[in-house]
Amino acid sequence: MERLKNPREFSFVYSKGTPSFGRYVVVSVVPTGKDVSRVGFAVSKKLGTAVTRNKVRRRLRAIVQELRNQFSPGYDVVVGAKRSAVGASFAELHEDLRCTLRKSRVWRKEAADLTGSGEEHA
């Protein structure tokens, strides 16, 4: 799992990618055909101070790091935080991001079968 860093890469994912919306996050995905998936994080200044934004970004990064083995290779992914993410607990962010990634088709097939509890997130 690599990171998206260049603003042009983010712009490409936003313009060509398919967004999936969760309660706390928006996940934009574009297939690349490469051997590895890359992830970038977008946390707007509208969320609050630098301390607040960094807290949300660290939480999202930790969740993606935990779920990295369940990503299918060959995608560029941008995880954007919504304003509601500021008040969400780590567990709520984790569940929302996991469900949103499943909706975006980045999830490996066998990973979806193993982690699926039968409940879908609204």
User: Which tens digits make up the pLDDT trace of 28-63?
Assistant: 999 998 999 999 999 999 999 999 999 999 999 999
Task: State how far the Cα of 73 lies from the Cα of 106, in Å rounded to an integer.
Answer: 8
Q: For the chain, which domains are there?
A: 2-106 (3.30.230.10)
- CA-closest candidate to residue 77, choices 15, 8, 7, 17: 17
- CA-closest candidate to residue 30, choices 107, 106, 112: 106
User: Which tens digits make up the pLDDT trace of 53-104?
Assistant: 999 999 999 999 999 898 889 999 999 999 999 999 999 999 999 999 999 8
Query: Considering the entire predicted model, what is its pTM?
Result: 0.85
CB count within 10 Å of CB 100 equals 21
Q: Which residues pair with 31 in a beta bridge?
A: 75
